[in-house]
Structure 1
Amino acid sequence: MDAIDYAILRLLQEDASLPVTEIAARINLSQTPTWRRIQKLEQAGVIDRRVALLDPQAVGRDITVFVDIETRDHSSEWLAEFARKVASMPEVMEVYRMAGEIDYTLRISVGSMADFDAFYRALIDAVPLKNVTSRFAMERIKYTTAFAI
């Protein structure tokens, strides 16, 4: 990748709906080479997908909860089952395997405490867990999906 590819990626991270003509104009390249570069970045997997980012409050999902999980079982079979279960839960936005005292951290989005309680009950019934700790976000101060490139 070169400086032009990075410029394209910065623009697409800011607004993936930009027409190729606009991107080309901003990077001082003609439309066809710009389009080819975008296609190459997509084929190479650098651009994973293009999506619309929604306002959580506008869609009734304005409660963000970080759920820390400890498990007694660290087998690959347990992890596969855990990953399958949490992937099927629509409240789960992100899942991370952690280093340190916590084994996994989930970021979930729900619309109410009742929704969270239903999620929590489903989670603890899904696979054996040692401990589950939940922390509720009071305010989102910074949010981005753009990488600094």
Structure 2
Amino acid sequence: MLDDRDRKLLTLLQRDAEASVTELAERVALSVSACSRRIARLREAGYIARQVAILDRRAMRVPTTVFAMLRTTRHAADWLDSFRRAVADIPEIVEVHRLTGHYDYVLKIVLPDVEHYDKVYKDLVGRVELFDVSASISMETLKDDTALPTGFA
């Protein structure tokens, strides 16, 4: 079970995983060694899955976001395996969610421009059979955060 210091540490680490243990310890009112032990315990317990660098999309020249909503008539395990491999192999597809409701899946796709979507679309439909693909272009990102809420654990 997490306590308030653990939650604060996780919140701080989500904002800046490169913060020094000294800085983190000061912010959560712990000694450096106690803070270091807590961070190690949080890693071992699986609260910290990994540490990554978050790249600037404009600098990486993929500022455009397209959300593709997919419907399929196939729900067998072999189709799902093919679909998982296909989306894993297309680097522009950064998120895939299986849904309830009218669509079966939604894909978040990052691209250099809208025209590049056609390449991704053709690549995907060339790999797996789909019944319907509908895409929407994001006009503006109102919130883009990787931090999870820490109050539920």
CA distance in 2, matches of 1:35, 1:106: 38
CA distance in 2, matches of 1:75, 1:38: 42
> Helix, strand or coil for the counterpart of 1:40?
helix
* Seq. identity, %: 40
Q: Which whole-Å deviations, capped at 9, do the CAs of 1:26-60 have from their partners, x for residues lacking one? A: 00001112111111211222111111212211110
Q: Which residue of 1 aligns with 2:27?
A: 26
Structure 1: runs of 5+ lacking an equivalent = none
Q: Quick one: which amino acid aligns to residue 29 of structure 1? A: L
Moved more, 134-143 or 31-40: 31-40
2:87 is the counterpart of 1:106: no
Q: For 1:1-149, what aligned pairs fall within 5 Å after superposition?
A: 1-149=2-150
Moved more, 120-129 or 76-85: 76-85
* Alignment TM-score, normalising by the size of structure 1: 0.95
* Alignment TM-score, normalising by the size of structure 2: 0.93
Matched positions, count: 149
**Structure 1 residue 115 displacement after superposition:** 2.0
Q: Which whole-Å deviations, capped at 9, do the CAs of 1:119-148 have from their partners, x for residues lacking one? A: 110011110100001100011111111122
> Helix, strand or coil for the counterpart of 2:33?
helix
**Structure 1 residue 21 displacement after superposition:** 0.7
Moved more, 33-42 or 59-68: 33-42
> Helix, strand or coil for the counterpart of 2:106?
strand
Q: Quick one: which amino acid aligns to residue 109 of structure 1? A: V
Moved more, 31-40 or 20-29: 31-40
